[in-house]
Amino acid sequence: MDDPRLTDDEVVTSVLGGRRQDFEVLVRRYSSRIVHFVARMTGDNDEARSIAQDVFLKIFVNLPYYRRENNFSAFIFRIARNMTLNWLKRRKRTVFFSRLLGHELDRLPPSQDPPSLSPMEQGEREQALTRQLRRLPVEQRLALVLKVYLEFSYKQIADVTGWSVPKIETLISRAKARLKKGIRLQESGNEPVVEAREK
Amino acid sequence: MNCRKIVRRLSAFQDGELASSLERQIEMHLRECAACSRELAEMNRLRERLLRLPPPAADPYFPGRVMALLPGRPAAAQRLLRAAAWAALFIAVFLGGFLLKTSAGATDADGRHPAATFSSVLLEPQAFGLLAVHDDSLDLFNGGGHEQE
Ligand SMILES: [Zn+2]
């Protein structure tokens, strides 16, 4: 069904021309990357799948606005970024109000897939790192996730975020410094507790 | 270049984002400076650890679920249809009012034509609000993200 010779733009043209079933080609091409992106941003795999689903519905609805300049990836990651940041803002509000009401909704651990066959200790280290990632300021996290997990160049990150390349360099550099510090603290058994409030 | 300047660009160096001349300068410095080399080694370890985090498990039903949820057609077509429907309604209302006026010339208590009154209600800003398509997709195109958590 997915003819790899067809570019994204050609598939888009086909969908807009009435072959809506061809949209599945785009979903198959990008779903694992979008889910991965959202999962790293939210730290929650189940939420990531549900947000990613909404992202694709939004992509479909906004397809007529895509300018077909061989930059489909930037187009859909802009949508994914907007929806993920909105979700994070909403969650922050929910957590705030639940605290105000004395509830502890936010104490529920975010969902992770069942651990891979790794030994217990490694699983714990992975969880700690996921936690550190989630605690990064959102702009730093966004830039780092696009760089490390999506292997975007700074220029491609600029296309998705609208930030300048120097700003992206600074954000990523700070994110790495912060994570390195967090890991050092964690390995010395002093993982910061205060920052956990940001979750 | 001194160590402070090098360390500031080390992340971009690791990401392969520097101009080749600067890259060569940093490589030369790293050969001689143990402190900066340690920084880079630590940064490389961090990247390895980040990449070792397992990605979310693949969900084979994901594409099927998305396809089952797709709305009828992409937005522009829907909007065009909606606009056409409203245009038809307006034409009907004004044409109706015009026909009424020419045939009967009936007026209401304020001396206004009933159909004209109805038309003016439709032209109230609130009524126009109904026409405004709510969609936050337009911010996709300015690309500027200033969201700060
Ligand atoms: Zn040095």
8 Å CB contact of B67 and A24: yes
Same domain, residue pair A119 and A163? yes
Q: Write down the pLDDT at residue A109.
A: 62
CA dihedral sign, ordered A188, A189, A194, A196: positive
Residue B114 has pLDDT above 80, yes or no: no
What is the per-residue pLDDT for A184? 83
Q: What is the ipTM of this complex?
A: 0.85
Residues A67 and A153 in one domain: no
Report CA(B38)–ligand 1 centroid distance (Å).
9
Taking CB atoms and an 8 Å limit, are B55 and A39 in contact across chains?
yes
Interface membership of B81 toward A (CB under 8 Å):
no
Whether pLDDT at B75 is above 60: no
**Mean pLDDT across chain A:** 88
- Let me know whether A90 and A139 are in one domain: no
Please tell me the predicted confidence (pLDDT) of residue B101: 67
Task: Tell whether A73 and A154 lie within a shared domain.
Answer: no
| Residue A77 covered by a domain | yes
Using 50, 70 and 90 to split pLDDT, how confident is the model at A99? confident
pLDDT for A127 = 85
Query: CA angle A73-A114-A39, nearest 5°?
Result: 25
CB proximity list for A99: less than 8 A, separation 6 or greater: A106
Mean pLDDT of B13-32: 97
pLDDT of residue B72: 76
Final residue of a structural domain among A70, A103, A136:
A103
- Same structural domain for residues A143 and A76? no
Task: State the total domains in chain A.
Answer: 2
Tell whether A108 is covered by a domain: no
Same domain, A124 and A196: yes
Identify the band that residue B39 occupies on the pLDDT scale cut at 50, 70 and 90.
Answer: very high
Question: Is pLDDT of A97 > 50?
Answer: yes
Is A59's Cβ below 8 Å from some Cβ in B? no
- Boundary (domain end) residue, out of A74, A103, A132: A103
Which residue in A13, A150, A176 has the most chain B C-beta atoms within 10 A of its own C-beta, making it the best mutation to test that interface? A176
Condensed to tens digits (0 to 9), the pLDDT of residues A12-61 reads 999 999 999 999 999 999 999 999 999 999 999 999 999 999 999 999 99
Query: What one-character-per-residue DSSP string does B36-94 give?
Result: HHHHHHHHHHHHHHHHHSPPPPP-TTHHHHHHHH--SS-HHHHHHHHHHHHHHHHHHHH
Q: Cβ of B49 under 8 Å from any chain A Cβ?
A: yes
A121 and A92 in a common domain: no
Put simply, the chain A residues between 118 and 177 with a CB less than 8 A from any chain B CB are 125-126, 129-130, 133, 137-139, 142, 147-149, 153-154, 159-163, 165, 169, 172-173, 176
* CATH code: domain of residue A170: 1.10.10.10
Residues of B in contact with A140 (CB under 8 A): none
What residues does each domain of chain B span? 3-52
B contact test, residue of A30, A169, A197 with most B CBs within 10 A? A169
Indicate whether A88 and A145 sit together in one domain.
no
Mean pLDDT, chain B, integer: 74
Q: Which of B23, B70, B139, B142 to mutate to test the interface with A (most CBs of A within 10 A)?
A: B70
A153 and A97 share one domain = no
Q: Which domain holds residue A14?
A: 1-103
Give Cβ neighbours of residue A104 (< 8 Å, ≥ 6 apart): A98
pLDDT at A26: 97
Asked which of A129-133, A164-168, A190-194, B60-64 is least confident by mean pLDDT, the reply is A190-194
**Final residue belonging to a domain, choices A103, A128, A163:** A103
For residue B76, the chain A residue with the least C-alpha distance is A64
What is the pLDDT, as a whole number, of residue B143? 40
CATH number at residue A64: 1.10.1740.10
- What A173-178 contacts at long range (C-beta under 8 Å, 24+ apart), as own/partner pairs, is A173/B8, A173/B10, A173/B11, A173/B12, A174/A140, A175/A136, A175/A140, A175/A141, A175/A143, A175/A144, A176/A144, A176/B11, A176/B43, A176/B46, A178/A132, A178/A136, A178/A140
Q: Which of B6-10, B115-119, B133-137 has the lowest mean pLDDT?
A: B133-137
Average pLDDT over residues B86-102: 72
Residue B91 reports pLDDT greater than 80: no
Q: Are residues A144 and A65 in the same domain?
A: no
Residue B96: the pLDDT is 72
pTM (2 d.p.): 0.74
Same domain, A162 and A187: yes
Contact B56 A85 (CB under 8 A): no
